[in-house]
Structure 1
Amino acid sequence: MRKFLTALFASTTLASTGLMTLTPAIAADNAKPAEVRTPLNELGKDDPYLWMEEIEGTRALDWAKAQNARTLPVLQGDKRYADLEAKALAILNAKDRVPGVSFSGDGSLTNFWQDADHVRGLWRRTTLDSYRTAEPTWETILDIDALSKAENANWVFKGASCLPPDETRCLVTLSNGGKDAVTVREFDTTTKAFVPGGFVLPEGKQNYSWLDKDTLLVAREWKPGEMTKSGYAYVLKTLKRGESLDQAREVYRGQETDVSVSPYVLRDPDGKVMGVIAHRGVTFFESEHYLITAKGAARLPLPAKCSIQTFVNGRLIVLLEQDWPEQGLKTGDLFEYNIDPLTADALASLGDGKPVGAKPMLVFRPTARQSVESVTSTRDKLIVGLLDNVKGAALVFDLGNKGWTRRKLDLPANSSIGLGSASDKDDRLFVSVTGYLAPTTYWLADAATGKLEQVKASPARFDASTHVVEQFEAVSTDGTKIPYFVVRPKDVKYDGSAPTLLYAYGGFQVPMTPGYSGVMGKLWLERGGTYVVANIRGGGEFGPAWHEAGLKANRQKVYDDFFAVSEDLIARKITSPRRLGIMGGSNGGLLMGVALTQRPELYNAIVIQVPLFDMIRYSQIGAGASWVGEYGDPAIPSERAVIAKYDPYSNLKAGKKYPEVFIETSTKDDRVHPAHARKAAARLEALGYPVLYYENVDGGHAASANLAETARRQALEYVYLTRKLMD
């Protein structure tokens, strides 16, 4: 998605102080009477491990430390651990890694870099000419290691948002140990220092954007407890330079039951503000978009299930995630919404949600086996990253008198295509190309001419000559064909003896596409392993409909797809239950928990990373309330009945033949929350099962505050998998 939507309407500027608030109206409910909700304090009230939900409680941390003290000697004591960790760290810290870069408004290319000498990392810049050379010359903008030392802080760099068009004033985002809650501070890239008396937003889960050099749009916890039930902000205000937080002026207010509210500032390529949108996340997948003006907040006439992708040529480019029959549009379509006809005089009539002089127009309609994976824009061009049977392509769209025309960039086939940073100064953008056995290459594309220049190629990190990539299909219980990729040794014997690691996610419309992992290749493939990725429903491989098929009451289909792929691998005799292991994180960690409780006989190893696990209480833990659109609401009896059937935590039973699992989490994970992993391990132990558990103190949900931690975690995982599947 574009650096987007830095938010909408030039005719009425937000820089004035006369902004009004319009709280969204609630539609009349003509549906059948709602079920009586179960009080949240009744859900799981008898759970003996509720104390583990205190994220940094003394008792919970002491338990985690004891688990680490028991698990680490087992895995780190394996004679292969030191070698695997050293190899992982060498790859992660390699000086010849190709640094990904972003266009900056001052003409430079910026990059964030970590290695053995810069564990927390360097924010740095170079020129395009220098970047093209084998040894670019880098200028440090901000040294996070030095900053942490000087401030005696545990800073993790979470990026910087810079004010167009020059992008020399930036909002630097810093996290304590990797948490989602962040501190924001104004930084000047010309002086390479934080601005004295500049903007500072204290730690919190917050959404923000520049409006102009003296004004920010900020959604945060303005008063204690003024957050959604998901733990995010729902009140948007303007904050002017020199003002304290209590002086900020409210411009939009969502509701406590929302997921969150975010500001989006729309700008032309030269940085001129074309307006502001308040994005109201009603649920994780349903939203409303409000045009903020001096007259109030006017709702844009967009469907609930759609997402604004970018803003180019005066058009909002929107991805549709539901049918819109009134406009002749279908799920998965990419369409434009021309805001030009919406003049300042017409804004007052937008309050009823009806369009004024604007009609959506189709830009692109994917086929049944295609989906729009990503969208960005240069100064004048629209670029779409397309998945075609889970293989990538990049399309350039031109707007002419007869609408949009498209052409394809001539990039390598049968690869994953990643759209990188796009320039506002011209029509250039960076594109990455990768595959399971093909190291990532970086290309500079000119969307105006179609010219492509390969500017960088990542070195190979493992011997890929011994493996091949194949794509197969399994048939799920309802007859749906589920594609999956197999990366296997060329000489594999089809006798079920191949040690095989199966990975999947299956949720939130996230596609699993081919990608190069030097660490996985070195620690698994090069040692004779087979690697499999399943493209199960719930993901985004075939667009919103593929995701929709696994929502809420249909959740079991996601798990049936995964089991179908597992059984297909066994039926083809690529592997066997003795040699088949599985891995997944977050929503994929929930998938692992379901596999453990529903089909343990299929697997001999399960790596459960930062998981969801207690699905009866998930909406009360971490940011769980934001995901009821994906899983359903446990407080509603009928929805809880569906969840209870697959909930791993309550379905753990004594007397089953569960494999010894390896569960990982992070204390600093304030998104999913470590309580899920803690309670899973504790209940397994209480039922008499062996379990390996590791809780990393830092790292956040990604468990990757620094490269040393990442290498440690990966080495632990592959030692475990080696012991279970290769020995």
Structure 2
Amino acid sequence: MTNKIRPARLPASKALVIACLALLSSSASFAQTSTPSYPATARVEQTDNYHGTTVADPYRWLEDDNSAQTKDWVKAQNQVTDAYLAAMPQRLPVRKLYTELYNFEKFGVPFKEGGRYFWTRNNGLQQQSVLYTAKSLKDQPSIALDPNTLSQDGTVALSGYAPSPNGKLLAYGSSKAGSDWQTWKVRDLATGRDLPDAIEWVKFSSATWTPDGKGFFYSRYDAPAEGAALTGANYFQKLFYHRLGTPQSADVLVAANPQEKEWGFNSSVTDDGKLLVINVWKGGSKNGLMVLPLVKGGFAGGEPKAISLAFDAAYEAVGVNGQQLIVKTNKDAPRGRLVAIDLQGTGKEAWKTLVAEGPDAMTGASAVGGRLLLSYLRDASTLVRRHGLDGKPQGEVQLPGVGTASGFGGRVQDRETFFSYTSLTTPSSIYRYDVASNKLSLFKRPQTAFDAEQYETRREFVTSKDGTRFPIFIAHKKGLKLDGTNPTLLYGYGGFNASMTPGYGITSAAWMKMGGVYVLASIRGGGEYGAAWHEAGTKLKKQNVFDDFIAAGEWLVAQKYTQPAKLAINGGSNGGLLVGAVVNQRPELFGAAVPAVGVMDMLRFHKFTIGWAWVPDYGSSENPEEFKALLAYSPLHTIKSGVKYPAIMVTTGDHDDRVVPAHSFKYTAALQAADTGPAPKLIRIETQAGHGAGKPTSKIIEERADMLAFFAHTFNMPLP
């Protein structure tokens, strides 16, 4: 979920795997059929009155993740889960398989700055990807920054980076243990040493250099008073300018609004170096837009000018063409359009449509090579169209196939751009696109242990409860028999305008090699079909999201891909909420579920860290009508005691400061206390881990392999 979402054991050797399997084989049937003995969880007499409705919250004490009692609870729960997972004969073989599939080169999309190219690369099992640079694509690249050197255990991640305009300096952010909090520093790329500059209390921000290279813009929060909590309205974001060589205390305030504490700021500089563009966000998919003139490529102060602060639509600056600011927006166009705004004009007369709304959802736009490159989704797969700066169409970019393409960044004067392409069975390859000739060339293609020729993928359409049609993507080994016996893993998200499009992942690849069917559902709440599609899965309409996901599961059973006893579901963050909600609503439809870092307490989510920013999607329990809708599906509050539930393993991180672990803690405690049948109800809590971003490779492998092994064990699948 966004705000708009490693020291570890290496896989055992083959000999050790065989030995462990021999030792564990006798306990396999016991582990599969027995109900774990869960730790006792204390209950407190806590109730809240919501608009005349009394709601009990007996596990409120678990919200304090720093208390000794909560830490003891975490330790006890992990002991139970560790014992259960260790007894599964599938665990080590699945981890070995996952490691083999994970071990391949992974490349980020290159970009150019200061006459140099920059891109990330991971050699396969490095804890963190390394940032490389080169003057030419044919040159041997050198390391610009290796985040693996920032900590001994790989838990410090590179959260963002921005080379200076001359390519000699690198502003970079780092975060610890998966936290959203970042520290920004500046590195001299020639010497590899950091300058004295240090920026603290940064969250949800990158760095934007002024064209003169003398400093950069960034957003941060005030340092809290000793003992004060950084939650809700107690703090708000401000946009600052930092001049190199000066202390952070001397940074200049550029934009803030104490009267609107929910406002946050991101920034960019136009290609001509004349304007700072400020994106103003406050949760949800609607935002404001402001501009501030720069003087001779530098910051000279001044008040930003509002382009729009109505927060009535999404606005994204694409580039400039003379005195016109080109903006992608869904204002009066739910599927998106491109407009040119005369910065010297006023009112609606200053706005001119460059590219009108069409039948497909516009998801991205860039100005490169004197042209506009517009990305669209058609039934959740990517199309890219070319237009002149005047908006006139110039045909399409011929992509490698039906899948997901992303990238296409650069400046209007650049001749080239880069993008990645992937599908459910195709790992991400990186392509260079020559804009003038409209030709692609391959830059990097990884070699993997996954043989895509043995698998097939298709797009099907499912009809939801209210008649809405949506796509799902299905991938599996060729020659699959539709006899209802195939173990199937269904994944979904359904929120925050995030589009679920087909892309290669180690989890899906490993599951398919294990003989399973992998399914991705592009349900409402996302951005697959534009703003209306997103809004149809928000607030009082959130139930549509759950209905869609349930319909996908029913379709898979009806088409004999699988049966309820062999249908697993997974989702993370907002997707964890999805899994928790649908299990409560239709427990008999699923055989196993893993809700990851989920939002489970829908009555109190807005009281923790950045949770207030999710109100535009969810609504708030402080609103009487929205409270009723939230209570009706909140996973914590709708567990059905006396009903047989599938096997469930909740996952979270004890340092998650986005979806705080209290959501998963309280949900698990309630689940274990209810009478939901003999299937296990476990929680796997990563220590020194956050929401997921920047997680070390070894932790990713362990966590996701454990999930697949949990499914395989529940479904009694053969060892991989």
Structure 1 position 336, deviation (Å): 2.4
The equivalent of 1:710 in structure 2 is 700
Q: Is the 8 A contact 1:160 1:172 kept in 2?
A: yes
Output one character per residue of 1:49-94: Cα deviation in whole Å (capped at 9) or x when no partner. Answer: 2222224333223222222221123223322222221222233233
Q: Hey, what does 1:7 align to over in structure 2?
A: none
Pairing 1:318–2:327 present? yes
Rounded to whole Å, the distance in 2 between the matches of 1:283 and 1:567 is: 33
Shift of 1:116: 6.8
Tell me which residue corresponds to 1:410.
398
Indicate the larger mover: 568-577 or 259-268.
259-268
Could you list the per-position Cα deviations for residues 391-430 of structure 1 after superposition, in whole angstroms to 9, with x for gaps in the alignment? 2222122124xx4323211222322222254356522111
- One of 186, 198, 201 as aligned partner of 2:199: 201
In the TM superposition, residue 670 of structure 1 has moved relative to its aligned partner by 1.0
Are 1:143 and 2:146 counterparts?
yes
Question: Would the aligned equivalents of 1:221 and 1:227 in 2 still touch at CA under 8 Å?
Answer: no
Q: Which runs of 5+ in 1 are unaligned?
A: 1-37, 132-136, 324-329, 343-353
Q: Distance in 2 between matches of 1:226 and 1:53?
A: 14
Q: Give the Å deviation of 1:174.
A: 0.7
Deviates more, 1:66-75 or 1:84-93: 84-93
Contact 1:179 1:669 survives alignment (8 Å):
yes
- Point out the more displaced range, 496-505 or 291-300: 291-300
CA contact under 8 A between 1:39 and 1:635: conserved in structure 2? Answer: no
Contact 1:470/1:485, CA 8 A, preserved across alignment: yes
1:433 lines up with 2:421 in the alignment? yes
Note the C-alpha offset of 1:442.
2.1
The one of 261, 266, 271 aligned to 2:269: 266
Describe the superposition over 1:302-343 as per-residue Cα deviations: whole angstroms up to 9, x where unpaired: 7521121422435434333342xxxxxx2222222334535x
For residue 62 of structure 2, what is the amino acid of its counterpart?
Answer: M
8 Å Cα contact 1:482/1:565 also seen in 2: no
SS at match of 1:701: coil
Per the alignment, residue 485 of structure 2 pairs with 497
Partner of 1:526: 513
The whole-number CA distance in structure 1 between the counterparts of 2:518 and 2:341 is 46
Change in 2 beyond 3 A, CA 1:683/1:140: same
Please, what TM-score do these two structures have when normalized by structure 1?
Answer: 0.84
Of the structure 1 ranges 497-506 and 459-468, higher mean CA displacement relative to structure 2 is found in 459-468
Is contact 1:102–1:420 with CA below 8 Å preserved after alignment?
Answer: no
Change in CA separation of 1:113 and 1:657 when aligned onto 2, cut-off 3 Å: same
Match of 2:66 among 41, 56, 61: 56
| Equivalent position to 1:719, from 709, 713, 716 | 709
Q: Is the 8 A contact 2:231 2:607 kept in 1?
A: no
Code of the residue aligned with 2:186 in structure 1: it is E
Q: Percent identity?
A: 28
Would you say 1:334 and 2:337 are equivalent positions? yes
In structure 1, C-alpha distance between the alignment counterparts of 2:458 and 2:514, rounded to whole Å: 19
Listed one character per residue, the Cα deviations across residues 524-571 of structure 1 (whole Å, up to 9, x for unaligned) are: 112211111111111111111111111111111111111111111111
Equivalent residues of 2:232, 2:612 under 8 A apart: yes
Paired residue secondary structure (1:296): coil
| Paired residues for 1:10-29 under 5 Å | none
Q: 2:523: which partner in 1?
A: 536
Aligned-partner Cα distance in 1 for 2:624–2:258:
24
1:575, distance to aligned residue in structure 2 (A)? 1.1
Gaps of 5+ in 2: 1-47, 294-300
- 2:111 equivalent to 1:103: yes
**2:657 aligned partner:** 670
Rounded to whole Å, the distance in 1 between the matches of 2:516 and 2:552 is 18
Structure 2 residue 344 is the aligned partner of structure 1 residue 360: no
1:532 & 1:655 partners in 2: Cα distance? 30
Structure 1 residue 632 displacement after superposition: 0.4
Q: What does 1:421-500 align with in structure 2 at a 5 Å threshold?
A: 421-422=409-410, 426-500=414-488
Show the counterpart of 1:20. Answer: none
Q: Check the 8 A contact 1:664/1:693 in 2, yes or no.
A: yes
In the alignment, what sits opposite 1:31? none
Residues 584-595 of structure 1 correspond to what in structure 2 (within 5 A)? Answer: 584-595=571-582
Moved more, 291-300 or 684-693: 291-300
8 Å contact kept, 2:489–2:570: yes
Q: 1:441 to 1:656 in 2, by over 3 A?
A: same
1:248-272: CA deviation from partner (whole Å, max 9, x where unpaired): 333322246543321423232xxx5
Q: Say if 1:440 and 1:516, in contact at 8 Å, map to a contact too.
A: yes
Cα distance in 2 for partners of 1:460, 1:154 equals: 26
Find out whether 1:617 has 2:604 as its counterpart: yes
| CA pair 124-62 structure 1, distance change in 2 beyond 3 A | farther
Query: Could you tell me which amino acid in structure 2 is paired with residue 685 of structure 1?
Result: Q
Alpha-carbon distance in structure 2 between the residues aligned to 1:281 and 1:482 = 29
Q: Which residue of 1 aligns with 2:635?
A: 648
Does 2:159 match 1:155? no
Q: CA deviation at 1:687?
A: 1.7
Alpha-carbon spacing, 1:279–1:254, altered in 2? closer, same or farther (3 Å): farther
Contact 2:573 2:599 in 1 (8 A): yes
Amino acid at match of 2:480: V
Give the superposition deviation at 1:630: 0.1
* 2:391 aligned with 1:390: no
Aligned residues, how many? Answer: 653
Q: Is the 8 A contact 1:210 1:216 kept in 2?
A: yes
Residue-by-residue CA offset, 1:590-628 (whole Å, 9 max, x unaligned):
000111110111000111111011101111123211000
Question: Hey, what's the Cα distance between the residues in 1 that align with 2:280 and 2:231?
Answer: 12
Within 2, Cα distance between the matches of 1:424 and 1:62?
57
Q: Which residue of 2 aligns with 1:298?
A: 305
Residue of 690, 697, 714 corresponding to 1:700: 690
1:176 maps to which residue? 176
Instruction: Work out which of the residue numbers 372, 375, 382 in structure 1 matches 2:365.
Output: 375
Deviates more, 1:479-488 or 1:577-586: 479-488
Aligned to 2:120: 112
Change (3 A) 1:77 1:654: same
1:290–1:300 Cα contact (<8 Å) kept: yes
Correspondence for 1:11: none
Aligned to 1:605: 592
Identify which range, 434-443 or 626-635, moves more after superposition.
434-443
CA distance in 1, matches of 2:456, 2:645: 32
- The CA distance in 2 between the partners of 1:223 and 1:416, in whole Å, is 40
Q: Amino acid of the residue matched to residue 122 of structure 1? A: V
Corresponding residue SS for 2:131: strand
Is structure 2 residue 646 aligned with structure 1 residue 659? yes
In structure 2, relative to structure 1, the CA distance for the partners of 1:263 and 1:386 (3 Å cut) is: closer
* Deviation of the 1:239 alpha carbon: 3.4
Query: What's the TM-score once normalised by structure 2's chain length?
Result: 0.84
The equivalent of 1:15 in structure 2 is none
Aligned to 2:649, the other structure's residue is in SS state strand
Verify the 8 A CA contact 2:287 2:309 in the aligned structure 1: no
Preserved contact between residue 127 and residue 154 of structure 2 (Cα < 8 Å): no
Could you tell me how far apart the structure 1 residues matched to 2:382 and 2:287 are? 28
Whether the aligned pair in 1 keeps the contact of 2:462 and 2:469 (CA below 8 Å) is: yes
Provide the aligned C-alpha RMSD in A: 2.8
Q: Secondary structure at the match of 2:350?
A: coil
* Map of 1:210 onto structure 2: 209
Distance (whole Å) between structure 1 residues aligned to residue 154 and residue 457 of structure 2: 45
Change (3 A) 1:382 1:168: farther
What secondary structure is seen at the aligned counterpart in 2 of 1:422? Answer: coil
